Amino acid sequence: MSPFEKIIINTMANESSPCPCDIGDKIEYGGLGQEVQIEHIKAYVVKPSTPSDKAIIVIQDIFGWQLPNTRYMADMLAANGYTAVCPDFFVGKEAWSPAGDWSKFEEWLQDKKPTTINKEVDAVLKFLKEQCGAKRIGTVGFCWGGVATHYIALQYPEVKAGVSVYGIVREREDRYALKSPTLFIFAEVDHVIPLDQVNSLEEKLKEKCTVDYQVKVFPGQTHGFVHRKREDINPEDKPYIQEARKDMLSWLDKYC
């Protein structure tokens, strides 16, 4: 079965306390889309085989918009009927290197906050609406991008759905006031996002959130498992990787 058939069966976790995350299984993958310029930023864009008015903004992790694993996820979304765009939210600044000195990570992060992305989001939304004919737009983000996805769900009611994969906004008072349905995917054995943070998020959302949401924890999994762990060489993790990706697609299909 192709990984891009219609139904796919086949670190930094929060902006206040970033922690090292392993790049995992970096795949060798060229991508099916193309790179374009969207106002002041570059982006990877891939379109579905048939015209669609649905689009997904795919938001990178700390390793940047050119990471093959993230482009693989964008192509997966396109194969399921969405125009997928993965913008360079670092706006030309160097992505984090797996060989980087983690003691300098917070310094590197200072001008790359996942909660200061409005200018880029506005440009991408305009591009999708005016040049791609998108009428229903969602977001999917990983790690750094998971935080950004949570942030967008607080700021942009026009974005119909979000899937935040291992990422939490922690420093905003309105962080539970989601404006669009959001699925949060977490790993049980995640040293970047401890389970007490996940439990707290779920409790507060239950108390304060007025839109649909889901918080789902995958047993035995580690940070990055959805997009940075290869199912073909991690057979014990394969069912969880596939389930998380299917959950992502189902959530977007339902709300976007």
Note the pLDDT tens digit of each residue in 108-140: 999 999 999 999 999 999 999 999 999 999 999
pLDDT computed for residue 16 by the predictor: 40
Integer CA distances (angstroms), 244 to 108, 109, 184, 194, 212, in order = 30, 28, 10, 19, 18
- Compute the distance between CA of residue 41 and CA of residue 39 in angstroms, rounded to an integer: 6
pLDDT at 83 over 80: yes
The answer to whether 255 touches 161, Cβ cutoff 8 Å, is: yes
Q: What pLDDT, on a 0 to 100 scale, did the predictor assign at position 229? A: 76
pLDDT of residue 234: 79
pLDDT band at 6 (very low <50, low <70, confident <90, very high): very low
The per-residue pLDDT for 21 is: 58
pLDDT average, residue stretch 38-56: 97
Other CB atoms within 10 A of residue 174 CB: 11
Is it the case that residue 12 has pLDDT exceeding 60?
Answer: no
The percent of residues above 90 in pLDDT, for the chain, comes to: 79
Give the DSSP per-residue string, 55-99. Answer: EEEEE--TT-TT-HHHHHHHHHHHHTT-EEEEE-TTTTSPPPPTT
Tell me which residue of 242, 223, 247 sits closest to 231, measured CA to CA.
242
**pLDDT computed for residue 80 by the predictor:** 97
Q: pLDDT tens digits for 164-212?
A: 999 999 888 899 999 999 999 999 999 899 999 999 999 999 999 999 9
CATH fold of the domain at 34-255 = Rossmann fold (3.40.50)
Is 24 a residue whose pLDDT tops 80?
no
Statement: the pTM of the whole predicted model exceeds 0.95 = no
Query: Which is higher by pLDDT, 129 or 24?
Result: 129
Residues of the chain by 3-state class (helix, strand, coil), percent to 5 = 30, 20, 50
How distant is the alpha carbon of residue 101 from its chain centre?
24
Q: 104 pLDDT band (50/70/90 cuts)?
A: very high
pLDDT of amino acid 22: 58
Query: At a CB cut-off of 8 Å and minimum separation 6, what does 196 contact?
Result: none
Catalytic residues: 143, 190, 223
